[in-house]
């Protein structure tokens, strides 16, 4: 079987789905690796590096017509036309954000595996692409905030006087939020973390941060997959109000709250932004899903009442070398998991395969995606 590594067609995407370091494990499974020329350029990986690792450099047409195609993002309509009937497609397909596109992908007759649907179970940890990218996003968000803030992060004592440390608040204590907390702590800031999930309290404290306590009654706000549930409207509005006085004291706010398949919850209101000091920074990691801040504009930096609001939608792509390596490890693990005797074997009895498979044999087969399409 052939495995195609294709170049991202979106100008802001610099990652590549597979890297030379993982090719040997794939060739041992009997796969012939076809690399579109220039596929790794954005991540600083040359065609020569792929060739030396066992890949063949081919045209885009050849790479897209492979038996298995490894992607970063969902294929465009033009790229779908280049897919072979019966091929396996693995990547961030955004099925929860664009379910109608999954119908068009099903019409191509491919088996489509969405990496963002990998279940959070121990056996699937090596395939958890979302967590790998979220960790990078949390790290980079903190560096962006530190660079934009017109103050030091750490306590600084000099002959001229003492500079107090910056106050940093992280909203959402998933993988991205915890990485942001850890990074802000390493930079010397005073850090607070907040999450609606009670289980997150100890994780926040274990990293040396303080937990933001709100007088808000919570039930079990964690779903079976470990993600936060959506708050009922009344409590959601109350939460936003209760956060205002704490955010007003923050020099930096990094928001990371996401609910799969839904618009990002509002956490930072215009009132909260206007209560912050001029020069303060909000980095909204939920910008691609509507934003946790009501003023966020995707892929723009705006200034409101002197507060900088940063809306990057693809921070992992700003560190493409390491992001590509980590993503490649997860995609490689997914492919290898279902390779037997040199062939990719579909297995709907396997809980991982069932969770990630969106399309097969010309049909959308994922129950949740199918219900979204039909609603």
- Give catalytic residue positions: 120, 125, 128, 131, 227
Cβ–Cβ under 8 Å, residues 28 and 3 = no
Alpha carbons 240 and 257: distance in angstroms, whole number: 13
Residues with Cβ within 8 Å of 286's Cβ and at least 6 positions away in sequence, in order, are 255, 256, 257, 258, 264, 292, 296
What is the SS3 assignment for 35? strand
Alpha carbons 208 and 211: distance in angstroms, whole number: 10
The Cα-based distances of 61 to 18, 52, 57, 82, 231 in angstroms read: 18, 22, 12, 7, 47
Q: Helix 20-27 crosses helix 320-337 at what angle (to 10 degrees)?
A: 10
CA proximity to 68, closest of 87, 82, 49, 53: 87
Alpha carbons 244 and 204: distance in angstroms, whole number: 20
Cβ–Cβ under 8 Å, residues 109 and 361 = yes
* Beta strand segments in the chain, E: 2-5, 32-36, 56-58, 68-70, 88-91, 111-114, 156-158, 161-163, 167-171, 190-194, 210-211, 252-255, 281-284, 301-304, 307-310, 339-340, 343-344, 357-360, 363-364
Alpha carbons 362 and 86: distance in angstroms, whole number: 9
Coarse DSSP helix, strand, coil percentages of the chain, rounded to the nearest 5 percent:
40, 20, 45
Pairing of strands 343-344, 339-340: antiparallel
Q: What are phi and psi of 68, to 5 degrees?
A: -130, 135
Measure the N-to-C terminal CA separation of the chain; round to a whole number of Å: 38
């Amino acid at each position: 079987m052939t495995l195609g590594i294709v170049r991202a067609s979106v100008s802001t995407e610099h990652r590549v789905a597979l890297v030379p370091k993982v090719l040997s494990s794939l060739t041992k499974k009997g796969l012939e690796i076809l690399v579109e020329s220039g596929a790794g350029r954005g991540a600083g990986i040359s065609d020569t590096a792929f060739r030396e690792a066992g890949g063949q450099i081919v045209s885009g047409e050849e790479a897209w017509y492979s038996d298995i195609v490894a992607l970063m993002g969902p294929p465009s309509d033009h790229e779908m036309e280049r897919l072979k009937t019966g091929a396996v497609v693995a990547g961030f397909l955004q099925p929860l954000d664009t379910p109608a596109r999954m119908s068009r992908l099903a019409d191509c007759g491919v088996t489509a595996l969405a990496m963002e649907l990998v279940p959070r179970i121990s056996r699937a940890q090596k395939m958890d692409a979302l967590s790998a990218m979220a960790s990078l996003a949390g790290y980079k968000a903190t560096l962006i905030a530190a660079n934009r803030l017109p103050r030091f992060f750490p306590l600084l004592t000099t002959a001229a006087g003492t500079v107090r440390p910056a106050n940093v608040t992280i909203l959402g204590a998933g993988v991205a939020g915890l990485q942001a907390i850890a990074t802000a702590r390493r930079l010397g800031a005073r850090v607070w973390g907040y999450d609606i999930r009670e289980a997150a309290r100890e994780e926040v404290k274990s990293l040396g941060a303080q937990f933001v306590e709100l007088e808000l009654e919570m039930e079990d706000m964690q779903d079976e997959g470990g993600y936060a549930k959506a708050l009922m409207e009344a409590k959601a509005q109350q939460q936003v109000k209760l956060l205002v006085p704490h955010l007003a004291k923050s020099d930096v706010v990094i928001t990371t709250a996401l609910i799969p398949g839904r618009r990002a919850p509002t956490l930072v209101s215009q009132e909260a932004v206007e209560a912050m000091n001029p020069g303060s920074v909000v980095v909204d990691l939920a910008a691609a899903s509507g934003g946790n801040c009501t003023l966020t504009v995707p892929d723009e930096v705006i200034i409101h009442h002197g507060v900088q609001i940063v809306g990057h939608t693809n921070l992992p792509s700003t560190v493409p070398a390491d992001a590509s390596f980590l993503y490649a490890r997860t995609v490689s693990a997914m492919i290898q998991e279902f390779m037997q005797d040199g062939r990719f074997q579909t297995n709907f009895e396997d809980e991982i395969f069932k969770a990630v498979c969106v399309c097969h044999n010309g049909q959308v087969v994922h129950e949740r995606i199918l219900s979204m399409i039909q609603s």
